[in-house]
A and B are shown apart, each in its own frame.
Chain A
Amino acid sequence: EVQLVESGGGLVQPDRSLRLSCVVSGFIFEDVAMHWVRQAPGKGLEWVSGISWNSGNIVYADSVKGRFTISRDNAKNSLYLQMNSLRADDTAFYYCAKGIFGMLTPFDYWGQGTLVTVSS
């Protein structure tokens, strides 16, 4: 059974940092691209960042470029999102999602999400 489990969310003050993690099982992690997608409460989906199987291709949405860093540890079946200089408009549920295969493929499995709230 494929599972993606996010953690690391919580309440954080503006301009502070937070690191999200996503541990996966049930598939060969090192074979696939992975992504972070967020959803502000009551709003639509916004892709945040993606990383290829070997970390050789990393891409970001303009809204987070320069502030967020995606990474992965294939030995630990884990995906990460380091979020710096957080702003109120970063408040959202953050989902990790598995690409079907390479970078330019849709997302066939998602975690349950972790809520990040940026507020003073």
Chain B
Amino acid sequence: DIQMTQSPSTLSAYVGDRVTITCRASQSISSFLAWYQQKPGKAPKLLIYKASSLESGVPSRFSGSGSGTEFTLSISSLQPDDFATYYCQQYKNYLYTFGQGTKLEIK
């Protein structure tokens, strides 16, 4: 099974900061990686797919990079609406594993 590990688990930042979340796969998943944002009481929202492709309608301050086993999600200038929990997901195989999540909090 492919394990996905995110770091950090919690991240505190100010509005306007640039932040980066890391996701590591236990084996190579090429670029079959997606990032989701979830707010309390809401369904997840797709932000990034194929490691670096921005989903339609997602602000350009979000960006993704990486391939193989190491990936990052960056937010260039945090907005109040960005404080949420972020999940990575591999779709290289049929187990569609999610990372454990990174909670982004306002400092």
Contact = CB atoms under 8 A, between A and B. Distances in A.
Nearest to B87: A45
29 contacts: A35-B96, A37-B44, A44-B99, A44-B100, A45-B38, A45-B44, A45-B98, A46-B98, A47-B95, A47-B97, A50-B94, A50-B96, A95-B43, A95-B44, A100-B49, A103-B94, A104-B32, A104-B92, A104-B93, A105-B49, A105-B91, A106-B49, A106-B89, A106-B91, A107-B44, A107-B46, A110-B44, A110-B45, A111-B43
Contacts of B46: 106-108
Contacts of A35: 96
Contact of B95 (A61, A95, A107, A108): A61
Interface residues of A, number: 21
A100 B49 CA distance: 10
Nearest to B46: A108
**For chain B, what secondary structure do more than half of its interface residues adopt (helix, strand, loop), or is it mixed?**
loop
Most buried by A among B44, B89, B92: B44
Interface in B18-60: 32, 34, 36, 38, 42-46, 49, 55
Contacts of B45: 110
